[in-house]
Amino acid sequence: MAPAILLVAATLFLRGLGAMGVGAFGTWLDSARVALALMFLFTAAAHFNRMKDDLIRMVPPSFPNPRALVLATGLLEMAGAIGLLLPSTRRLAAWGLALMLVALFPANVSAARRGLTLRGKPVTPLAIRLPIQILFLAFCLWVALG
C-alpha cells in the first residue's frame, strides 16, 4: 500500500511544484514519470534491506533460487527507475517495468494464497493488490506512451 500512496502523493506534489513554476514538473506526465521512478526506487530498496527475507518467501516455491530472483528484480527496479529519468531510455524503461509488473504479479497472488507476511503483517489482499497493480501498470503505460 505504501508504494501506491507514494506514487499518488509524489505525483500530486511534483505537479504542484510544476504549477508554481518548476519547469521539470510542468506537465502531469513529467510529474508522473518522476513519481514512478521514486516509487520504484522505494520498492527496490526492500530487495536489499530487512524486507529481503520476506520477499524471498514470496517467490513461489516452484521457482529456483528465490534469493537470486529477489536480487535480480531489485536491480531491475533500480535500473528501470533510473531509466525513467533519462530522456533516451524513459520509454524503454517504462515498457520494461510494465512487463516486470505483469511477470511478478503471480508472486503476489502466491503470497496472498499462502498467507505470507511482510514486516510481520499479512500481505495485501488480492482484492486490494490487483487495483494497486493496475495503477502501477497504468502509470508505466502512461509514461511509455506519453
Q: What is the pLDDT of residue 64?
A: 93
Angle, helices 90-113 vs 66-85, to 10°: value is: 150
Q: Which residue has the cell 503471480?
A: 106
Please give the C-alpha separations between residue 78 and each of 43, 84, 101, 118, in angstroms, as whole numbers. Answer: 9, 10, 14, 21
**H/E element, 37:** helix 28-45
Q: What is the pLDDT of residue 15?
A: 98
Residue-number span of the structural domain to which 65 is assigned: 2-145
Q: What is the pLDDT of residue 134?
A: 97
Number of domains in the chain: 1
Query: Are 94 and 141 in contact, with CB atoms under 8 Å apart?
Result: yes
Q: What is the pLDDT of residue 32?
A: 98
How far apart CA 21 and CA 99 sit, in angstroms, is: 34
Cα 93 from chain centre = 12
How far apart CA 31 and CA 66 sit, in angstroms, is: 34
How far apart CA 117 and CA 59 sit, in angstroms, is: 12
Q: What is the pLDDT of residue 68?
A: 97
Q: Please give the grid coordinates belonging to residue 4.
A: 501506491
3-state secondary structure of 142: helix
Q: What is the pLDDT of residue 141?
A: 98
Q: What is the pLDDT of residue 71?
A: 97
Q: What is the pLDDT of residue 11?
A: 98
Q: Please give the grid coordinates belonging to residue 124.
A: 495485501
Which parts of the chain sit beneath pLDDT 50? none
For residues 59, 62, 66 and 72, what is the CA-based torsion angle, rounded to 10 degrees? -80
